[in-house]
Amino acid sequence: MQSEGQKEIISDELLPVTDIDIRALAEIYDEKPVYLSVYLPVSGRENDHLNRIFVDSRVSAIKKALNPELRSEFEKTFEMAESSVFDEPISGEKGRIIFACSKDSFIHVYRLAVEPEQSFVLDTSPYLLPLAKMRADYEDYGVLLVDSQEARFTCIRSDITEEKKHLSTDLMNKHKKGGWSQMRFNHLRKGAIKSFLSEVAENVQGTCDQLETRGFVLAGPGEAKQQLMELLPYEFQQKVLGVIDVSIDIPRDELVEAGDAVLQESKDSESRHAAEELKTALLKGGLAAHGIEDVKAALEQARVNTLLILKDSSVAGWICERCQNLQANANPPKECDRCGGPTSAVNVVEELYEIAQRTGAKVEFVDKEDFLDSDDVVGALLRY
Protein backbone atom coordinates (compact mmCIF):
# COMPACT_ATOMS: atom_id res chain seq x y z
CA MET A 1 0.00 0.00 0.00
CA GLN A 2 1.27 3.46 -0.89
CA SER A 3 0.32 6.56 1.04
CA GLU A 4 1.23 10.22 1.14
CA GLY A 5 -0.41 12.04 4.02
CA GLN A 6 -3.51 9.93 3.40
CA LYS A 7 -4.09 11.84 0.15
CA GLU A 8 -3.12 8.74 -1.81
CA ILE A 9 -3.85 5.20 -0.69
CA ILE A 10 -3.70 2.55 -3.39
CA SER A 11 -3.86 -1.00 -2.07
CA ASP A 12 -1.91 -3.66 -3.95
CA GLU A 13 -3.33 -6.49 -1.83
CA LEU A 14 -6.71 -7.51 -0.42
CA LEU A 15 -7.88 -5.33 2.42
CA PRO A 16 -10.56 -6.03 5.07
CA VAL A 17 -13.28 -3.37 5.05
CA THR A 18 -12.61 -2.81 8.76
CA ASP A 19 -9.13 -1.50 7.84
CA ILE A 20 -10.64 1.40 5.88
CA ASP A 21 -10.58 4.51 8.08
CA ILE A 22 -14.21 5.50 7.64
CA ARG A 23 -14.06 8.09 10.40
CA ALA A 24 -11.30 10.00 8.60
CA LEU A 25 -13.28 9.80 5.35
CA ALA A 26 -16.34 11.18 7.14
CA GLU A 27 -14.36 14.33 7.98
CA ILE A 28 -13.87 15.19 4.29
CA TYR A 29 -16.18 17.56 2.46
CA ASP A 30 -16.15 20.43 -0.02
CA GLU A 31 -18.60 23.18 -0.92
CA LYS A 32 -18.92 21.75 -4.45
CA PRO A 33 -19.57 18.22 -5.77
CA VAL A 34 -15.98 17.24 -6.54
CA TYR A 35 -15.59 13.87 -4.77
CA LEU A 36 -16.12 10.75 -6.86
CA SER A 37 -17.05 7.48 -5.10
CA VAL A 38 -17.08 4.18 -7.00
CA TYR A 39 -18.14 0.74 -5.72
CA LEU A 40 -17.81 -2.20 -8.11
CA PRO A 41 -17.88 -6.01 -8.08
CA VAL A 42 -14.83 -6.95 -10.14
CA SER A 43 -14.48 -10.73 -10.33
CA GLY A 44 -15.15 -12.35 -13.70
CA ARG A 45 -15.52 -11.17 -17.29
CA GLU A 46 -19.25 -10.64 -16.91
CA ASN A 47 -18.69 -8.10 -14.13
CA ASP A 48 -16.03 -6.36 -16.23
CA HIS A 49 -18.49 -6.00 -19.13
CA LEU A 50 -21.35 -4.82 -16.89
CA ASN A 51 -19.07 -2.40 -15.04
CA ARG A 52 -17.98 -0.71 -18.27
CA ILE A 53 -21.59 -0.25 -19.36
CA PHE A 54 -22.57 1.05 -15.92
CA VAL A 55 -19.61 3.43 -15.58
CA ASP A 56 -20.00 4.82 -19.11
CA SER A 57 -23.66 5.50 -18.42
CA ARG A 58 -22.96 7.24 -15.11
CA VAL A 59 -20.11 9.33 -16.54
CA SER A 60 -22.38 10.52 -19.37
CA ALA A 61 -25.25 11.34 -16.99
CA ILE A 62 -23.01 13.26 -14.57
CA LYS A 63 -21.40 15.31 -17.34
CA LYS A 64 -24.81 16.39 -18.60
CA ALA A 65 -25.84 17.52 -15.10
CA LEU A 66 -22.78 19.70 -14.42
CA ASN A 67 -21.92 23.24 -15.44
CA PRO A 68 -18.77 23.68 -17.58
CA GLU A 69 -16.48 24.42 -14.61
CA LEU A 70 -17.56 21.40 -12.57
CA ARG A 71 -17.68 19.22 -15.69
CA SER A 72 -14.02 19.98 -16.34
CA GLU A 73 -13.17 19.17 -12.70
CA PHE A 74 -15.09 15.89 -12.88
CA GLU A 75 -13.31 14.89 -16.10
CA LYS A 76 -9.96 15.43 -14.39
CA THR A 77 -11.07 13.36 -11.41
CA PHE A 78 -12.34 10.51 -13.56
CA GLU A 79 -9.13 10.57 -15.59
CA MET A 80 -7.22 10.21 -12.31
CA ALA A 81 -9.41 7.28 -11.21
CA GLU A 82 -10.13 5.53 -14.52
CA SER A 83 -7.15 3.17 -14.55
CA SER A 84 -8.02 2.03 -11.02
CA VAL A 85 -11.67 1.59 -11.97
CA PHE A 86 -10.87 -0.80 -14.82
CA ASP A 87 -7.63 -2.33 -13.52
CA GLU A 88 -7.46 -6.15 -13.67
CA PRO A 89 -8.44 -7.77 -10.35
CA ILE A 90 -5.72 -9.42 -8.29
CA SER A 91 -6.06 -12.98 -6.99
CA GLY A 92 -9.08 -13.29 -4.69
CA GLU A 93 -10.35 -9.78 -5.39
CA LYS A 94 -14.14 -9.61 -5.66
CA GLY A 95 -14.81 -5.93 -5.10
CA ARG A 96 -13.23 -2.49 -5.31
CA ILE A 97 -13.91 0.88 -3.72
CA ILE A 98 -12.44 4.10 -5.12
CA PHE A 99 -12.64 7.62 -3.72
CA ALA A 100 -11.08 10.37 -5.84
CA CYS A 101 -10.90 14.16 -6.13
CA SER A 102 -8.59 15.86 -8.64
CA LYS A 103 -8.98 19.23 -6.93
CA ASP A 104 -7.39 17.86 -3.73
CA SER A 105 -5.06 15.35 -5.47
CA PHE A 106 -6.92 12.73 -3.46
CA ILE A 107 -7.32 9.07 -4.42
CA HIS A 108 -8.03 6.01 -2.30
CA VAL A 109 -8.29 2.56 -3.92
CA TYR A 110 -9.29 -0.45 -1.85
CA ARG A 111 -9.30 -4.06 -3.13
CA LEU A 112 -11.75 -6.34 -1.30
CA ALA A 113 -12.45 -10.06 -0.98
CA VAL A 114 -16.19 -9.27 -0.82
CA GLU A 115 -18.56 -7.79 -3.41
CA PRO A 116 -20.15 -4.35 -3.07
CA GLU A 117 -23.17 -3.30 -5.09
CA GLN A 118 -22.48 -1.06 -8.09
CA SER A 119 -22.44 2.64 -7.23
CA PHE A 120 -20.93 5.67 -8.98
CA VAL A 121 -21.59 8.94 -7.15
CA LEU A 122 -20.27 12.50 -7.45
CA ASP A 123 -20.87 14.51 -4.29
CA THR A 124 -19.37 17.05 -1.94
CA SER A 125 -17.82 14.28 0.15
CA PRO A 126 -17.02 10.56 -0.18
CA TYR A 127 -20.20 8.47 -0.35
CA LEU A 128 -19.87 6.22 2.72
CA LEU A 129 -23.23 4.55 3.34
CA PRO A 130 -22.45 1.45 1.18
CA LEU A 131 -19.12 1.10 3.00
CA ALA A 132 -20.90 1.47 6.33
CA LYS A 133 -23.27 -1.37 5.46
CA MET A 134 -20.36 -3.56 4.36
CA ARG A 135 -18.53 -2.90 7.62
CA ALA A 136 -21.70 -3.86 9.49
CA ASP A 137 -21.97 -7.10 7.48
CA TYR A 138 -18.28 -8.04 7.66
CA GLU A 139 -17.01 -7.44 11.17
CA ASP A 140 -13.76 -9.20 12.10
CA TYR A 141 -14.22 -12.46 13.98
CA GLY A 142 -12.34 -15.67 14.74
CA VAL A 143 -13.03 -19.36 14.24
CA LEU A 144 -11.50 -21.86 16.68
CA LEU A 145 -11.54 -25.25 14.94
CA VAL A 146 -10.84 -27.96 17.50
CA ASP A 147 -10.99 -31.69 18.17
CA SER A 148 -9.24 -33.82 20.82
CA GLN A 149 -5.86 -33.67 19.03
CA GLU A 150 -5.72 -30.45 17.00
CA ALA A 151 -6.74 -26.80 17.29
CA ARG A 152 -6.49 -23.96 14.77
CA PHE A 153 -7.49 -20.37 15.43
CA THR A 154 -8.26 -18.48 12.22
CA CYS A 155 -9.15 -14.79 12.05
CA ILE A 156 -11.69 -13.97 9.31
CA ARG A 157 -11.68 -10.39 8.12
CA SER A 158 -14.06 -9.59 5.25
CA ASP A 159 -13.68 -13.22 4.11
CA ILE A 160 -9.87 -12.94 4.20
CA THR A 161 -8.53 -15.73 6.43
CA GLU A 162 -5.44 -15.39 8.60
CA GLU A 163 -4.37 -18.42 10.69
CA LYS A 164 -3.14 -17.13 14.03
CA LYS A 165 -2.42 -20.29 16.03
CA HIS A 166 -2.07 -24.03 15.35
CA LEU A 167 -1.69 -26.58 18.18
CA SER A 168 -1.69 -30.37 18.01
CA THR A 169 -0.90 -33.44 20.10
CA ASP A 170 -0.38 -37.11 19.24
CA LEU A 171 -2.50 -38.92 21.79
CA MET A 172 -2.16 -42.40 20.30
CA ASN A 173 1.63 -42.33 20.41
CA LYS A 174 1.78 -40.69 23.78
CA HIS A 175 0.22 -43.67 25.55
CA LYS A 176 0.67 -47.34 24.62
CA LYS A 177 -1.77 -50.05 25.55
CA GLY A 178 0.85 -52.71 26.36
CA GLY A 179 0.19 -54.10 29.85
CA TRP A 180 -2.58 -51.60 30.60
CA SER A 181 -6.24 -52.31 31.18
CA GLN A 182 -8.63 -50.64 28.77
CA MET A 183 -10.06 -48.66 31.69
CA ARG A 184 -6.66 -47.29 32.68
CA PHE A 185 -5.81 -46.44 29.08
CA ASN A 186 -9.10 -44.58 28.66
CA HIS A 187 -8.51 -42.70 31.91
CA LEU A 188 -5.03 -41.60 30.81
CA ARG A 189 -6.30 -40.64 27.38
CA LYS A 190 -9.04 -38.45 28.89
CA GLY A 191 -6.42 -36.79 31.06
CA ALA A 192 -4.24 -36.11 28.01
CA ILE A 193 -7.21 -34.62 26.13
CA LYS A 194 -8.04 -32.34 29.07
CA SER A 195 -4.39 -31.26 29.30
CA PHE A 196 -4.33 -30.46 25.57
CA LEU A 197 -7.62 -28.54 25.72
CA SER A 198 -6.37 -26.59 28.74
CA GLU A 199 -3.38 -25.53 26.65
CA VAL A 200 -5.76 -24.53 23.83
CA ALA A 201 -7.85 -22.48 26.28
CA GLU A 202 -4.78 -20.56 27.45
CA ASN A 203 -3.69 -19.90 23.88
CA VAL A 204 -7.09 -18.73 22.69
CA GLN A 205 -7.23 -16.25 25.57
CA GLY A 206 -3.88 -14.79 24.52
CA THR A 207 -4.89 -14.71 20.86
CA CYS A 208 -8.21 -12.99 21.58
CA ASP A 209 -6.47 -10.39 23.73
CA GLN A 210 -4.24 -9.50 20.75
CA LEU A 211 -7.06 -9.22 18.21
CA GLU A 212 -9.83 -6.64 18.02
CA THR A 213 -12.60 -9.00 16.94
CA ARG A 214 -16.29 -9.23 17.66
CA GLY A 215 -15.72 -12.70 19.13
CA PHE A 216 -15.11 -16.20 17.85
CA VAL A 217 -16.98 -19.24 16.59
CA LEU A 218 -16.23 -22.55 18.30
CA ALA A 219 -16.23 -25.28 15.63
CA GLY A 220 -15.26 -28.90 15.17
CA PRO A 221 -16.45 -32.51 15.43
CA GLY A 222 -17.40 -34.44 18.55
CA GLU A 223 -17.35 -33.32 22.17
CA ALA A 224 -13.99 -31.54 22.35
CA LYS A 225 -15.45 -28.10 21.65
CA GLN A 226 -17.95 -28.44 24.50
CA GLN A 227 -15.17 -29.59 26.84
CA LEU A 228 -13.11 -26.60 25.75
CA MET A 229 -16.03 -24.24 26.41
CA GLU A 230 -16.16 -25.48 30.02
CA LEU A 231 -12.42 -24.79 30.43
CA LEU A 232 -12.69 -21.19 29.23
CA PRO A 233 -13.10 -18.41 31.82
CA TYR A 234 -16.57 -16.85 31.86
CA GLU A 235 -15.41 -13.66 30.11
CA PHE A 236 -14.15 -15.70 27.15
CA GLN A 237 -17.25 -17.86 27.08
CA GLN A 238 -19.13 -14.61 26.48
CA LYS A 239 -17.02 -14.03 23.37
CA VAL A 240 -18.22 -17.27 21.76
CA LEU A 241 -20.61 -16.24 18.96
CA GLY A 242 -21.84 -19.78 18.38
CA VAL A 243 -20.89 -23.46 18.42
CA ILE A 244 -21.09 -25.51 15.20
CA ASP A 245 -20.36 -29.13 14.21
CA VAL A 246 -17.95 -29.35 11.27
CA SER A 247 -15.14 -31.64 10.15
CA ILE A 248 -11.65 -30.80 11.43
CA ASP A 249 -10.42 -30.75 7.81
CA ILE A 250 -13.27 -28.57 6.48
CA PRO A 251 -12.18 -26.61 3.35
CA ARG A 252 -11.31 -22.99 4.01
CA ASP A 253 -14.15 -21.51 1.92
CA GLU A 254 -16.72 -23.72 3.68
CA LEU A 255 -15.32 -22.66 7.06
CA VAL A 256 -15.74 -19.00 6.08
CA GLU A 257 -19.30 -19.63 4.88
CA ALA A 258 -20.23 -21.41 8.11
CA GLY A 259 -18.56 -18.74 10.24
CA ASP A 260 -20.26 -15.90 8.34
CA ALA A 261 -23.67 -17.51 8.99
CA VAL A 262 -23.00 -17.59 12.75
CA LEU A 263 -21.71 -13.99 12.70
CA GLN A 264 -24.82 -12.78 10.86
CA GLU A 265 -27.10 -14.52 13.35
CA SER A 266 -25.20 -12.87 16.21
CA LYS A 267 -25.42 -9.45 14.56
CA ASP A 268 -29.13 -9.84 13.84
CA SER A 269 -29.70 -10.71 17.50
CA GLU A 270 -27.76 -7.63 18.63
CA SER A 271 -29.72 -5.37 16.25
CA ARG A 272 -33.02 -6.77 17.52
CA HIS A 273 -31.85 -6.17 21.09
CA ALA A 274 -30.94 -2.55 20.27
CA ALA A 275 -34.35 -2.02 18.65
CA GLU A 276 -36.11 -3.43 21.73
CA GLU A 277 -33.97 -1.25 23.99
CA LEU A 278 -34.99 1.81 21.95
CA LYS A 279 -38.69 0.92 22.14
CA THR A 280 -38.48 0.40 25.90
CA ALA A 281 -36.65 3.69 26.43
CA LEU A 282 -39.22 5.58 24.36
CA LEU A 283 -42.14 4.01 26.24
CA LYS A 284 -40.60 4.86 29.62
CA GLY A 285 -39.35 8.31 28.66
CA GLY A 286 -35.73 7.19 28.91
CA LEU A 287 -32.57 8.25 27.09
CA ALA A 288 -33.79 7.87 23.52
CA ALA A 289 -34.77 9.88 20.47
CA HIS A 290 -36.59 9.02 17.26
CA GLY A 291 -37.36 10.78 14.01
CA ILE A 292 -35.01 12.74 11.78
CA GLU A 293 -35.15 16.07 13.62
CA ASP A 294 -34.73 14.78 17.17
CA VAL A 295 -31.99 12.34 16.20
CA LYS A 296 -30.19 15.01 14.17
CA ALA A 297 -30.23 17.41 17.12
CA ALA A 298 -28.88 14.71 19.46
CA LEU A 299 -26.11 13.79 17.00
CA GLU A 300 -25.07 17.43 16.57
CA GLN A 301 -24.79 17.68 20.37
CA ALA A 302 -22.72 14.43 20.48
CA ARG A 303 -25.32 12.87 22.81
CA VAL A 304 -25.90 9.70 20.78
CA ASN A 305 -24.46 6.44 22.05
CA THR A 306 -26.08 4.19 19.39
CA LEU A 307 -27.66 5.34 16.13
CA LEU A 308 -30.24 2.92 14.73
CA ILE A 309 -30.89 3.09 10.99
CA LEU A 310 -33.60 1.22 9.12
CA LYS A 311 -31.87 -0.92 6.49
CA ASP A 312 -31.98 0.43 2.93
CA SER A 313 -33.71 3.62 4.06
CA SER A 314 -33.35 6.96 2.34
CA VAL A 315 -34.63 10.45 3.16
CA ALA A 316 -34.29 13.29 0.66
CA GLY A 317 -33.07 16.64 1.90
CA TRP A 318 -30.32 19.20 1.55
CA ILE A 319 -27.19 20.36 3.32
CA CYS A 320 -25.25 23.61 3.36
CA GLU A 321 -21.69 22.80 2.39
CA ARG A 322 -20.42 25.80 4.36
CA CYS A 323 -22.09 25.54 7.78
CA GLN A 324 -23.41 21.95 7.51
CA ASN A 325 -27.02 23.03 8.07
CA LEU A 326 -28.98 19.84 7.33
CA GLN A 327 -32.66 19.80 6.44
CA ALA A 328 -34.84 16.80 5.64
CA ASN A 329 -37.83 16.43 3.31
CA ALA A 330 -37.14 19.66 1.44
CA ASN A 331 -35.65 20.71 -1.89
CA PRO A 332 -32.34 22.61 -1.66
CA PRO A 333 -32.77 26.39 -1.81
CA LYS A 334 -30.42 28.53 -3.88
CA GLU A 335 -28.54 29.43 -0.73
CA CYS A 336 -28.54 28.43 2.94
CA ASP A 337 -31.05 30.35 5.05
CA ARG A 338 -28.59 30.28 7.94
CA CYS A 339 -25.30 31.46 6.39
CA GLY A 340 -25.98 32.10 2.70
CA GLY A 341 -23.66 29.27 1.66
CA PRO A 342 -24.10 26.85 -1.25
CA THR A 343 -26.50 23.94 -0.81
CA SER A 344 -26.81 20.50 -2.39
CA ALA A 345 -29.33 17.67 -2.37
CA VAL A 346 -28.39 14.76 -0.09
CA ASN A 347 -29.65 11.52 1.43
CA VAL A 348 -30.16 12.72 5.00
CA VAL A 349 -29.58 9.19 6.33
CA GLU A 350 -26.07 9.25 4.84
CA GLU A 351 -25.37 12.61 6.49
CA LEU A 352 -26.61 11.37 9.89
CA TYR A 353 -24.34 8.35 9.58
CA GLU A 354 -21.34 10.60 8.91
CA ILE A 355 -22.15 12.73 11.97
CA ALA A 356 -22.31 9.53 14.01
CA GLN A 357 -18.85 8.59 12.77
CA ARG A 358 -17.43 12.00 13.64
CA THR A 359 -18.91 11.92 17.16
CA GLY A 360 -17.97 8.32 17.98
CA ALA A 361 -21.51 6.89 18.07
CA LYS A 362 -22.08 3.20 17.40
CA VAL A 363 -24.35 2.39 14.43
CA GLU A 364 -26.83 -0.48 14.09
CA PHE A 365 -28.71 -1.24 10.86
CA VAL A 366 -32.12 -2.63 11.81
CA ASP A 367 -34.73 -4.65 9.90
CA LYS A 368 -38.16 -3.09 9.44
CA GLU A 369 -39.97 -5.76 11.46
CA ASP A 370 -37.72 -5.04 14.46
CA PHE A 371 -37.92 -1.25 14.29
CA LEU A 372 -40.43 1.37 15.39
CA ASP A 373 -44.10 1.09 14.48
CA SER A 374 -43.98 4.34 12.53
CA ASP A 375 -42.50 5.88 9.42
CA ASP A 376 -39.36 6.96 11.28
CA VAL A 377 -36.20 5.49 9.73
CA VAL A 378 -33.75 6.51 12.49
CA GLY A 379 -33.66 6.30 16.25
CA ALA A 380 -31.01 6.83 18.89
CA LEU A 381 -30.02 5.57 22.32
CA LEU A 382 -28.50 8.55 24.12
CA ARG A 383 -25.51 9.01 26.39
CA TYR A 384 -27.27 11.65 28.48
What would the 3-class secondary structure string for 136-194 be? HHCCCEEEEEECCCEEEEEEEECCEEEEEEEEECCHHHHCCCCCCCHHHHHHHHHHHHH
d(CA 297, CA 305): 13
pLDDT digits (tens, 9 = 90+) for 271-304: 999 999 999 999 999 999 999 999 999 999 999 9
- What pLDDT does residue 187 have? 52
pLDDT digits (tens, 9 = 90+) for 229-275: 999 999 999 999 999 999 999 999 999 999 999 999 999 999 999 99
The structural domains of the chain, ordered by start, are: 1-138 (3.30.960.10), 141-250 (3.30.420.60), 267-384 (3.30.1330.30)
Residue type, 217: V
Q: Give the pLDDT band of residue 79 (cuts 50, 70, 90).
A: very high
CB 345 within 8 A of CB 318: yes
Q: Give the pLDDT band of residue 3 (cuts 50, 70, 90).
A: very low
- What pLDDT does residue 327 have? 94
Q: Where are the alpha helices (DSSP H) in the chain?
A: 22-26, 45-65, 68-86, 129-137, 171-174, 182-210, 224-231, 234-237, 252-283, 292-300, 348-359
- What pLDDT does residue 369 have? 82
Q: Give the pLDDT band of residue 374 (cuts 50, 70, 90).
A: low
Q: Give the pLDDT band of residue 1 (cuts 50, 70, 90).
A: very low
pLDDT digits (tens, 9 = 90+) for 313-355: 999 999 998 898 999 999 999 999 999 999 989 999 999 999 9
Q: Which of 147, 179, 145, 182 is nearest to 164 (CA)?
A: 145
The CA-to-CA distance between both ends of the chain, in Å, stands at 41
Of all residues in the chain, the percent with pLDDT exceeding 90 is 73
- What pLDDT does residue 213 have? 86
Half-sphere exposure of 325 (CA within 13 A, CB side): 15
Question: Residue 203: pLDDT above 70?
Answer: yes
